[in-house]
Amino acid sequence: MQVLTLFATGLGAGFAAGGASCAAVQGGLLVGAVRPCGPASAAGPTDRADTAEAADCAGSPVRRPLPRALAAFLGAKLVAHAVLGALLGLVGGALQPAPSTRAVLMLLAAALMVLFGLAMLGVPGVGRLLPRGSVRGAGRGPLLLGAATVFVPCGVTLGAELVAVTSRNALGGAAVLTGFVLGTIPLFTVLGLLVGASGRVLRGRLTAALGVLVLAVAVWTVGSGLRLAGWWTPTARGAVDHAAASTGPDGVQRVTVRVADKGYHPARALARAGVPTVLVLRTDHTTGCTRGFVLPARDRQQVLPVSGETTIDLGVPRPGTVDWTCAMGMYGGRIEFRADP
């Protein structure tokens, strides 16, 4: 019964919010998997779409059937997440990669998206760098891309992974993420069919537009990965909150931050340097990627409860800043420590 409940939990989350959230992050991989593949015409490519298809499919003897490619992508995605769920349930949070490791994986995924985007724009020679199947049928390309989605989790996926960790058993963990991916399949199927059909019918401007979209997502992924690892910190915006920090009778300074689905409040807090400090994170029915809290400078991450209060010891900070970000590098904030705030 517990396994069925966990499966239903994952299925509901995937169907309600996971499809749209994950499609935005993993769309580049989906596009690469379902791009129509076939030999160029004898006369050579006649427009941008033909050039893109020729580049993408160089060396491939047959057209890759769309249903097979889409099924391979979704099947590999399902299996990869089921295995991850089982491992998370078996050994818990100890298996989760460090923020810097996940950032590297995000950058690799972004590089793959760039290749697909350039191929769709008709850049010569790019297609040879892309994964292709060596046999008839769906080939290995869609399988590899489907499995790669496990390294590019969307915000809702992080919540499902947390449930898998807390299940404390392999079957329960696998049930959660299996249900989650099944919940996202309807939207991914529709998008995959639309993208695959457009490559054969509309071509031209639509193919170019899709290529630009993939490149835009790649740029966003690069920024998120760099921020997640602490290799790039965007310029802080908004007013500095002077009231977020308070010192109690015990002499410990507490900086309180409210964690919402789409950000942290305040995103900029002012505190005194040179005194013992703790960061207090408060959640209230929070389900976004902000629950995955990361301190890049310390390569530390922590999954916050849906509702509750989490305290993180910051030691005795020196003058400077302590930055944080969500587990996807989308939202962040900082504490500015000054000797005399």
pLDDT tens for the chain, 341 residues long, are 478 877 887 888 788 766 666 776 677 678 777 765 543 333 334 444 444 444 445 444 444 577 888 999 999 999 999 999 999 888 875 666 677 777 887 788 778 778 877 877 878 887 677 655 433 334 567 888 888 888 777 656 766 777 787 777 889 889 989 999 999 999 888 888 877 776 555 556 666 776 787 788 778 778 878 887 788 877 766 677 777 899 989 999 999 999 998 889 999 999 999 999 999 999 998 877 788 888 988 888 887 888 999 999 999 999 999 999 887 677 889 999 998 76
Q: What are the residue boundaries of the structural domains of the chain, listed by start?
A: 2-229, 245-338
- pLDDT value of residue 282: 95
* pLDDT score, position 39: 39
DSSP H or E segment with residue 131: none
Q: What is the dihedral of CA 288, 289, 293, 298, to 10 degrees?
A: -170
User: In this predicted structure, what is the pLDDT of residue 198?
Assistant: 64
- Radius of gyration, alpha carbons of the chain: 22
For the chain, the maximum distance between any two Cα atoms, rounded to a whole number of angstroms, is: 82
Residues 229, 113: Cα–Cα separation, whole Å: 20
To the question of pTM greater than 0.75 for the whole model, the response is no
DSSP secondary structure of 202-260: T-HHHHHHHHHHHHHHHHHHHHHHHHHHTS--PPP-SPPBSSSEEE-TTS-EEEEEEEE
**Helical H segments across the chain, by residue range:** 2-13, 19-34, 48-57, 66-91, 99-120, 140-148, 155-167, 170-200, 204-229
CATH architecture of 245-338: Sandwich (2.60)
251: tokens are 């002499």
Where do we find the tokens 């593949």?
Answer: 37
**What's the rounded Cα separation, in Å, for the pair 113 and 106?**
10
Contact 184, 154 (CB under 8 A): no
With vertex at residue 249, the alpha carbon angle to CA 243 and CA 252, rounded to the nearest 5 degrees, is 65
Specify the pLDDT at position 284. Answer: 93
